[in-house]
Amino acid sequence: MSLYTTKAIGKTINDCADIEEFKQNILPFLPDQRSQWSKKIEQILSDRRLSCKQLAQLCKVSEPAVRKWRKGSIPQSRDMYIRIGFAAGYNLDEMNMFLQRYGRCPQLYVKSLEDSVCMFVLQSDYLDHTYDTYLKVLDMVKLEMDGAPEVERQTYTTQHLSSRFANLQSM
């Protein structure tokens, strides 16, 4: 099976008579998730010219954790994929593709406070696109919301937050 199109794979799967034929004719051609993850980490290290230690510092994990990723150990949290995406220097579109492809989780969603802040940082022309910057801005937003009068705090619907973040600009 040399074609990796959805149509070709679908036809081949439909033509399989039983599970053994499926295992023999399909599974060998599907890349293993761990090996794909390992290749992706190697690509990030190479593209950014980072050592394991540097990537670990950017992601706020231990160096042995990064070494495990290089061997195919897959992170368990969406936040970790976001940290890695920031370390890789991804823009918003690349971050969303990375989350969906490798993290197998939803893309950044404007109705989530944390995701909105992440999107804001990634789209800023003035802020460093780092996980540390994301955490600082998130803390500032939470402090602002906590300091608002009780009546005003109750009016923060996801739609309200979405429109506020869409109009924010960094200085």
Contact at 8 Å (CB) between 67 and 56?
no
Q: What is the pTM of this model?
A: 0.72
Residue 96 has a pLDDT of 96
Walk along the chain (171 residues) and give the pLDDT tens digit of each residue.
444 566 776 777 777 777 787 777 666 666 678 888 999 999 999 999 999 999 999 999 999 999 999 999 999 899 999 999 999 999 999 999 999 999 888 999 988 899 999 999 999 999 999 999 999 999 998 888 877 665 454 555 556 666 665 556 555
- Tokens 């500032």 correspond to 140
Residue 1 has a pLDDT of 41
CA distance 82 to 60: 12
CA distance 10 to 87: 36
CA distance 82 to 122: 11
Residue 115's CB: how many other CB atoms inside 10 A? 18
